[in-house]
Amino acid sequence: MKLSQRLSTKATWRRDVKVTVKLFASYRDAIGKDQVELEVDDPASVATVLTRLKELFPKLSERLGVNMLIALNAEYASIKSPVKDGDEMALFPPVSGG
């Protein structure tokens, strides 16, 4: 596994965590892509990935909310769930209907 390393301002080694984020329904429509590859600093969490997504895609930022469904490696996850290099995250907007 190839990991890039860099020296942070605190003189500690940090690794990049590469994550694939799959987007569904209105999230996909907001950015015109169904999948994006992101790099975030390790240690990372779902919240870290969401923050990076909002920075890169302001239109998506307006839509992400507390009622979305998050899956990490095909299992339900919370905002606090840790994210590791190579993980796959999926975001589903709230669904309503009857």
Please state, in angstroms and as integers, the Cα–Cα distance from residue 4 to each residue in 17, 18, 42, 89, following that order: 9, 10, 11, 21
Cα Rg, the chain, nearest whole Å:
14
Q: Six-digit token pair at 26?
A: 């209105």
Provide CATH code, domain 17-92.
3.10.20.30
pTM for this entry: 0.81
**pLDDT by 10s per residue, the chain, length 98:** 444 445 444 555 667 999 999 999 999 999 999 999 999 999 999 999 999 999 999 999 888 987 899 999 999 999 999 999 999 999 999 987 66
Coil, helix or strand for 9? coil
Torsional sign, CA 2, 7, 10, 12: positive
